[in-house]
Amino acid sequence: MAQLARPVRRIEYDIDHGATRVPAFLAKNPNGRVPLLELDDGTSIAESGAILWYLAEDTPLIPADRLERARVLQWMFFEQYSHEPYIAVVRHWIKHHLLDAPRQAQLAERRAKGYAALDVMEIHLQSHAFFVGDRYSVADIALYAYTHVAHEGDFDLAPYPSIRRWLHRVRAQTGHIPIDG
Amino acid sequence: MAQLARPVRRIEYDIDHGATRVPAFLAKNPNGRVPLLELDDGTSIAESGAILWYLAEDTPLIPADRLERARVLQWMFFEQYSHEPYIAVVRHWIKHHLLDAPRQAQLAERRAKGYAALDVMEIHLQSHAFFVGDRYSVADIALYAYTHVAHEGDFDLAPYPSIRRWLHRVRAQTGHIPIDG
């Protein structure tokens, strides 16, 4: 939103204590999850990928070409299906000390699948500066989010030089602000 | 594709025996997954949601309104993140007799999350004929796919009358063909 020069007010919800599963929140998103974008007129949009698409349509962050738009969505769905459930979830468990026995039992498989996602990204980035059309797009924003904090889930990016160079390129974009900035 | 009157040739891959993890397939989709759309010029598009979007842009299956487009994507990301990993995966394990001990240990949690996804759909469909804009769209196609075979994963749709009525509406669309037809 900073890169689109759109003002935003951030509201924090304590998801580990059910703050998004109360009636007032469920009225805005029946799926009970953050992020949730609320527009000035009260309209709510859920799902990070849908929010990115809504904000970025008709801007340089989404390509004009039909095939390239599909490629952007391809990487955004990859992020939600093959990346976030492993890299973001493992990071959440470790960073917030939530590794109980059932989660510990899933850790090895989730870590392996997280590295598999990083492998797919590394192969692509060996020959591409960005994920789609050699330009920065919402696909890069979607994948940067949890990749740049993967180390907080004990994922080691040392064997992924192309990913590390791409992280630098994303950080170098005009208007980039740190996620906690 | 039948509803868009586009011809398609279907190629089956035996995913339980690694047929999408061989070099020839990985060259088309480094993530090693089906579905994969191959165009006549050899271009490949992965991720079911991206394939649907590519095929349906500029057709009545994707709304013209920006907010409604975001809503379509919202439900498509919901399907990939909150529905498919539970309803489709459990069905796959049960239908193909793949319930080994590690999967059995995950079954109760996956089933609960599958029913949670059905709950979200039921609430929405109690007051909507379709998922977005009261018209059939790719959001309905994406959610129909595994919902209409949820019973093969021992999900009971009896307590979901609005979902069952919506399944009938989807089946009644012009050009609808059964998934194995």
Full set of structural domains in chain A with CATH: 1-46 (3.40.30.10), 66-171 (1.20.1050.10)
Predicted confidence band at B181 (pLDDT cuts at 50, 70, 90)? very low
What mean pLDDT do residues B37-56 have?
97
Kindly tell me if the per-residue pLDDT of B147 is higher than 70.
Answer: yes
Predicted confidence band at B137 (pLDDT cuts at 50, 70, 90)? very high
Distance CA(A23)–CA(B160), nearest Å, equals 21
Number of Cβ atoms within 10 Å of the Cβ of A153: 21
Q: What is the pLDDT of residue A181?
A: 44
Q: Are B48 and B76 in contact (CB under 8 A)?
A: no
Distance from the A67 Cα atom to the nearest Cα atom in chain B, whole angstroms? 7
Kindly tell me if the per-residue pLDDT of A5 is higher than 60.
Answer: yes
Distance CA(B143)–CA(B148), nearest Å, equals 9
For tokens 């003002």, the residue is A7
Predicted confidence band at B102 (pLDDT cuts at 50, 70, 90)? confident
> Closest-CA residue in chain A for B74?
A50
The amino acid at B173 = Q
Kindly tell me if the per-residue pLDDT of A11 is higher than 70.
Answer: yes
- Minimum-distance CB partner of B31 among A30, A66, A78: A78
Predicted confidence band at B179 (pLDDT cuts at 50, 70, 90)? confident
- Minimum-distance CB partner of A78 among B47, B66, B84: B47
Which letter does DSSP use for residue A147 in this model?
H
Task: Name every residue in A having a CB less than 8 A away from some CB of B.
Answer: 30-31, 33, 43, 45-51, 53-54, 57, 66-67, 69-71, 73-74, 76-78, 80-82, 84-85, 105-106, 109, 120, 123-124
Predicted confidence band at B168 (pLDDT cuts at 50, 70, 90)? very high
Q: Give the contacts of A86 (CB within 8 A, at least 6 positions apart).
A: A110, A111, A113, A114, A116, A117
Handedness of CA B79, B81, B87, B91 (dihedral sign): positive
Q: What is the pLDDT of residue A16?
A: 84
Predicted confidence band at B55 (pLDDT cuts at 50, 70, 90)? very high
CA–centroid distance for A47 within its chain? 10
What mean pLDDT do residues A20-49 have?
95
Both tokens of A160, joined, read: 């992924």
Kindly tell me if the per-residue pLDDT of A25 is higher than 60.
Answer: yes
Distance from the B169 Cα atom to the nearest Cα atom in chain A, whole angstroms? 23
The amino acid at B139 = A
In terms of C-beta density within 10 A (0-12 exposed, 13-18 middle, 19 or more buried), how is residue B85 classed?
Answer: middle
User: For all residues of chain B together, what is the average pLDDT?
Assistant: 96
- Minimum-distance CB partner of A30 among B66, B71, B123: B123
Task: Name every residue in B having a CB less than 8 A away from some CB of A.
Answer: 30-31, 33, 43, 45-51, 53-54, 57, 66-67, 69-71, 73-74, 76-78, 80-82, 84-85, 102, 105-106, 120, 123-124
Distance from the B116 Cα atom to the nearest Cα atom in chain A, whole angstroms? 8
Task: For residue B135, give the 3-state DSSP assignment.
Answer: strand
Distance CA(B93)–CA(B88), nearest Å, equals 9
> Closest-CA residue in chain A for B58?
A66
Kindly tell me if the per-residue pLDDT of A96 is higher than 80.
Answer: yes
Distance CA(B129)–CA(B162), nearest Å, equals 9
Q: CA torsion A131→B73→B69→B39, rounded to 10°?
A: 60
Predicted confidence band at B115 (pLDDT cuts at 50, 70, 90)? very high
- Minimum-distance CB partner of A74 among B47, B106, B120: B47
Q: What is the pLDDT of residue A8?
A: 94
What mean pLDDT do residues B91-98 have?
95
